[in-house]
Amino acid sequence: MTRALLRVAILGAESSGKSTLAAALAERHGTVWVPEYLREFVETRGRVPVSEDQFFIASTQVAREREASALARGVLICDTTPLMTVLYSRHYFGGEDAQLAALAAGTHYDLTLVTAPDVPWVADGLQRESEAVRQLIYRQLLDELAARRIPHHILHGQLEQRMEQAMPLLDQLLSDA
């Protein structure tokens, strides 16, 4: 009997090291990771998303997770989830539509890791706004995780320290499965 694929969500505000951590965790576990689709969206379209793009972005992220599941080995590392799209929709557009809210509510992960905004903020063209927004989104994320009662672990420091914090959590998840 094969065990179910475990899914790890890596959440955090802009420029907080999510992608770097996702790639490192996937490499360490010999599996794949799902990059944040928003980055691709901004790069290929040459613009930031508008309100009407939010559900498309989040649903594409989830579709990419489904596609990557076929290649994953035991665990799938997900660089962001629809929940982050909800938070940014609230910040930039005053709320989220019903489809996006339902998608975020219906998407679940076995482990949620949050990258603290304690690495240097780096401007990234169209996609990143400011250190102040990064801090605000981080606080909103923690509040939202608490409100939804989603267990999570906050990772601090540079990549090496984050890996030291994340690996026992991932190892425990895999041994419990």
pLDDT tens-digit readout, 82-113: 999 999 999 999 999 999 999 999 999 999 99
Instruction: Return the CATH class of domain 6-176.
Output: alpha beta
Is the pLDDT assigned to residue 131 strictly greater than 90? no
Q: Which amino acid is at 27?
A: E
Of the candidates 10, 6, 8, the one whose C-alpha atom is nearest the C-alpha of residue 155 is 10
Residue 172 phi, psi (nearest 5)? -65, -45
- In this predicted structure, what is the pLDDT of residue 136? 93
Cα–Cα distance measured from residue 29 to residue 176, given in angstroms and rounded to the nearest whole number: 16
List the domain boundaries for the chain.
6-176
- In this predicted structure, what is the pLDDT of residue 128? 58
- In this predicted structure, what is the pLDDT of residue 124? 67
Q: Given the structure tokens 């026992």, which residue do they identify?
A: 168
Q: Which long-range contacts (CB under 8 A, 24 or more apart) does 51-57 make?
A: 51/89, 51/92, 51/93, 51/97, 54/85, 54/88, 54/89, 54/93, 54/96, 54/97, 54/100, 55/97, 55/99, 55/100, 55/103, 57/85
- In this predicted structure, what is the pLDDT of residue 3? 59
Do 174 and 164 meet the contact criterion of CB atoms below 8 Å apart? no
